[in-house]
C-alpha cells in the first residue's frame, strides 16, 4: 500500500467515522490437518470447537494447568483443514506446544504458514459496508466466520474479528499476493495506519494483547474473555480452576479500561486509599486522552455496591479513573 501512513489523530477520526487498515502480518498462522485436528484443540483449549463447519470460526484459549493464559487462538474451519491465527510472532511456539500433546492414536499435523501469510486488519465503524463494497458480497458475517474470494487468479480470505472502534475484519492472503491485496484495499479508499494508532484504538476498545493482558499472570475470565470459554464442554487443560472461579461468581481481579490525567508507564502499580489496587498492563496517549488497561483487585471495586461513586485510583501524582461500567 504505497501511501503515507495516517497520523494517530487522522486514524482515530477515520476509524470512528469510517474504517482504516493495519498491517498485522506479524500474527502467526498455522494449518492443522488430519482427522483429529479439531478434537485435539477441543481437549486442549477453553472453547467448544469440535463441531466447527467449513466457513465457521471461533476464538479459544490455551491455558496452563492452573488456568493461566498461554495464547488466544482464532480458528477458521475449512473442509479438510483448520487455519489458526496466533498472537504476534507466536506461531512456532504454539506449533511446538501442541505437538507435545499429540498421542499415538491422533491423526493431527501442524504446518507453520506464518512467514508465507500476509494479514491485514480493517477496523472501524463502517468496516463491514466498505469491505462488502470492495468484494461485492455481503460480509456481515458472524464473529470469526469467513469467506474466500478469487481476484486475478489469487485467493483472499475475509474473516470477521474482534471489534476495534466499532467493527473488525482480517483479510489474509499468500505473501506473494500482498501487493495486489494492498492495492485492492487502497482502491476501496481504505488508508493504512501505523502500529502506534492500533495500540491506542485497541486499548480504547478493551482488546487484550498477548504479552500485556494475555500472559500466564491471568486467567481468561479476568481478561474479559468470557465468550472464548465454554462452561458445558468436556475437560480441557486448566478447566478446574476456570470452572471454580466461574461457579463462585467472583474473580480475584478484573481487566478495566482506565483513564489518566497524565502519562504513566506500563507496569505501574495502582493504589487506592494507600493500598495496592492493581497493575497497568497497557498505556497510550491520543485524541481521547491517556488511556490504560489494567487489572484491578475485585475487592477494590466493591465500594460501588454501597456508594454511587466508582472508586478512583492513583499512580504517584497521576489520577486514574475507571472509563467503563463496573
pLDDT digits (tens, 9 = 90+) for 39-49: 999 999 999 99
The secondary structure of residue 46, as a DSSP letter, is S
The three grid cell numbers given for residue 135, joined into one nine-digit string: 468484494
Q: What is the dihedral of CA 291, 208, 52, 21, to 10 degrees?
A: 50
Does the structure show a pLDDT above 60 at 123?
yes
pLDDT at 309: 58
Does the structure show a pLDDT above 70 at 325?
no
Q: How far apart are CA 20 and CA 22, in angstroms?
A: 7
Q: What is the mean pLDDT of residues 13-40?
A: 97
Q: How far apart are CA 275 and CA 256, in angstroms?
A: 18
226's CB contacts (< 8 A; 6+ apart) are: 220
pLDDT at 300: 81
Confidence at 247, pLDDT banded by 50, 70, 90: confident
Does the structure show a pLDDT above 60 at 307?
no
Does the structure show a pLDDT above 80 at 294?
yes
Q: What is the mean pLDDT of residues 13-35?
A: 97
Q: How far apart are CA 144 and CA 167, in angstroms?
A: 12
E-state strands within 78-221: 82-88, 109-112, 117-123, 146-151, 154-164, 167-174
Does the structure show a pLDDT above 60 at 170?
yes
Question: 166 in the Ramachandran plot: left (φ > 0), alpha (ψ -120 to 50) or beta?
Answer: left
Determine how many CB atoms are found less than 10 A away from the CB of residue 322. 18
Q: Which helix (H) or strand (E) holds 251?
A: none
Q: Which helix (H) or strand (E) holds 278?
A: strand 275-286
Beta bridge partners of 169: 122, 160
Whole-number Cα distances in Å, 306 to 208, 295, 303? 30, 22, 6
Mean pLDDT of all residues belonging to the chain: 93
Evaluate whether 116 touches 175 at the Cβ level (below 8 Å): yes
- Domains in the chain with CATH codes: 8-204 (3.30.1360.120), 252-322 (2.40.30.110)
Does the structure show a pLDDT above 50 at 306?
no
Q: How far apart are CA 221 and CA 324, in angstroms?
A: 17
Share of the chain above pLDDT 90, in %: 85
Does the structure show a pLDDT above 50 at 62?
yes
Does the structure show a pLDDT above 60 at 131?
yes
Confidence at 1, pLDDT banded by 50, 70, 90: very low
pLDDT at 310: 66
Does the structure show a pLDDT above 80 at 228?
yes
Q: What is the mean pLDDT of residues 21-42?
A: 97
Q: How far apart are CA 188 and CA 263, in angstroms?
A: 36
Evaluate whether 166 touches 125 at the Cβ level (below 8 Å): yes
Does the structure show a pLDDT above 80 at 311?
no
Determine how many CB atoms are found less than 10 A away from the CB of residue 179. 12
Amino acid at each position: 500500500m504505497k501511501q503515507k501512513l495516517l497520523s494517530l489523530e487522522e486514524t482515530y477520526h477515520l476509524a470512528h467515522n469510517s474504517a482504516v487498515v493495519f498491517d498485522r502480518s506479524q500474527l502467526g498462522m498455522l494449518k492443522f490437518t488430519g482427522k483429529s485436528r479439531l478434537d485435539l484443540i477441543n481437549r486442549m483449549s477453553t472453547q467448544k470447537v469440535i463441531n466447527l463447519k467449513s466457513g465457521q470460526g471461533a476464538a479459544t484459549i490455551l491455558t496452563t494447568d492452573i488456568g493461566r493464559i498461554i495464547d488466544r487462538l482464532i480458528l477458521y474451519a475449512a473442509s479438510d483443514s483448520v487455519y489458526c491465527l496466533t498472537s504476534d510472532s507466536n506461531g512456532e511456539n504454539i506449533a511446538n506446544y501442541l505437538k507435545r500433546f499429540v498421542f499415538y492414536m491422533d491423526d493431527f499435523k501442524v504446518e507453520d504458514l506464518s512467514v508465507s501469510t500476509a494479514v491485514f486488519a480493517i477496523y472501524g465503524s463502517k468496516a463491514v459496508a466498505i469491505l462488502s463494497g470492495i468484494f461485492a458480497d455481503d460480509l456481515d458475517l458472524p464473529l470469526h466466520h469467513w469467506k474466500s474470494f478469487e481476484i486475478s487468479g489469487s485467493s483472499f480470505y475475509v474473516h470477521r474479528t474482534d471489534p476495534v472502534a466499532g467493527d473488525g475484519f482480517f483479510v489474509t492472503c499468500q505473501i506473494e499476493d500482498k501487493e495486489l491485496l494492498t492495492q485492492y484495499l487502497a482502491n476501496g479508499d481504505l488508508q493504512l495506519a501505523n502500529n502506534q494508532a492500533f495500540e491506542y484504538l485497541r486499548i480504547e476498545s478493551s482488546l487484550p494483547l498477548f504479552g500485556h493482558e494475555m500472559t500466564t499472570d491471568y486467567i481468561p475470565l479476568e481478561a474479559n474473555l468470557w465468550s472464548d470459554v465454554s462452561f458445558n464442554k468436556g475437560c480441557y487443560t486448566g478447566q478446574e480452576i476456570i470452572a471454580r472461579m466461574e461457579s463462585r461468581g467472583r474473580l480475584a481481579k478484573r481487566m478495566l479500561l482506565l483513564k489518566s490525567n497524565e502519562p504513566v508507564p506500563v507496569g505501574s502499580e495502582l493504589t487506592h486509599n494507600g493500598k495496592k489496587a492493581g497493575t497497568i498492563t497497557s498505556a497510550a496517549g491520543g485524541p481521547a486522552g491517556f488511556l490504560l488497561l489494567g487489572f484491578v483487585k475485585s475487592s477494590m471495586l466493591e465500594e460501588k455496591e454501597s456508594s454511587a461513586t466508582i472508586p478512583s485510583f492513583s499512580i504517584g501524582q497521576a489520577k486514574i479513573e475507571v472509563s467503563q461500567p463496573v
